[in-house]
Structure 1
Amino acid sequence: MTPLRRRMIEDMRVRNLAANTQRNYVSYVSAFARHFGSSPELLGLEEIRAWQLQLVDAQRSRSALVLATAALRFLYNVTVKRGWVIDEISMSKKPRKLPVILSPDEATRLFEAIPSIKYCVIPMAAYAGGLRISEATRLKVSDIDLPTGEIAPAATVVVN
């Protein structure tokens, strides 16, 4: 075991990182060093960027890229104590996903597929009011304005 690896493991133990995190960090730092055929102490920001690009080109998952970057950030900021600003090692952003919205026809078919109006009330109320599942399951009769059939604003729905 190299002195750098031993020192990194000791730093992770001192910070009480989970055993799985320690294994992953050591694995990614080791793969980084093998990729360049050199000790991580001799590598810099350009090599980190090239490593990140290689992971992206290999179509690794976002979580793998984040974990690899976190391992290198730990190595260079805690163990090696380079004078870099942490933000110089960029982290992958989480892609924004738009919610799936049913078309009016799809919503109609969904509600028609429910055999009884008794079982259709909660899903229809949730859909019409834009409620979360937790909010819909806590609906009370008092939350629904009976003369108009409208659901009270979400702020008045009690969610525990």
Structure 2
Amino acid sequence: MTDKAISPLRQRMIEDMTIRKLAPKTQHDYVQRVKNFAAFLGRSPDTASFEDVRRYQLHLAASGVGVPTINQTVSTLRFFFRVTLRRYDIVEHTHFIHEARKLPVVLSPEEVARLLDAALPHPGSNTRRR
């Protein structure tokens, strides 16, 4: 990743991701998310409790971060605590957010007729069919 000195914890996480063949971009993103979590904590992330993870999720939600970003962070933290630290007590209390899907816009029969009318050539026009 970089030529700088890497902490043993970060090195362990990178090795765990490499063993599982996570893509380089995924590895980079996971490292960044754990780094952001550590900055939020103000200490090493391996000292975090379930309450710390919960507070971080609340912080993300309150700061207007979107559902996909929160879920990516949950996925990262689950990997970090389950695989790298083997702290299953934290993992079992983290959950993904399910966002309601929006229904597609359905056109009325009149709107469909107007759309087709606008797209089809009119009789007597100079448009030739092929």
Shorter-chain TM-score tier: 0.7 to 0.9
Which of these residues, 12, 19, 28, is aligned with residue 23 of structure 1? 28
Quote the residue 1:60 is aligned against: 65
**Corresponding residue number in structure 1 for 2:109:** 104
Does residue 76 of structure 2 align to residue 71 of structure 1?
yes
Number of the residue aligned with 1:89: 94
Q: Is 2:46 the partner of 1:41?
A: yes
- Runs of 5+ consecutive residues of structure 2 not aligned to the other structure: 1-5, 123-130
* Superposed CA offset, 1:55-94 (max 9, x none): 1222222221111111100010000101327441111214
CA shift at 1:18, angstroms? 0.5
Give RMSD over aligned pairs: 1.7
Count of aligned pairs between the two proteins: 117
Larger radius of gyration: 1
Shift of 1:101: 0.5
Give the counterpart of 2:14 among 5, 9, 27: 9
TM-score, scaled to structure 2? 0.81
Between the aligned residues of both structures, percent identity stands at 38
Aligned residue for 1:88, secondary structure, equals: coil
Distance 2:58 2:8 in 1: 28
Question: Which amino acid in the other structure matches residue 73 of structure 1?
Answer: R
| Larger RCO, structures 1/2 (Cα 8 Å, 6+ apart) | 2
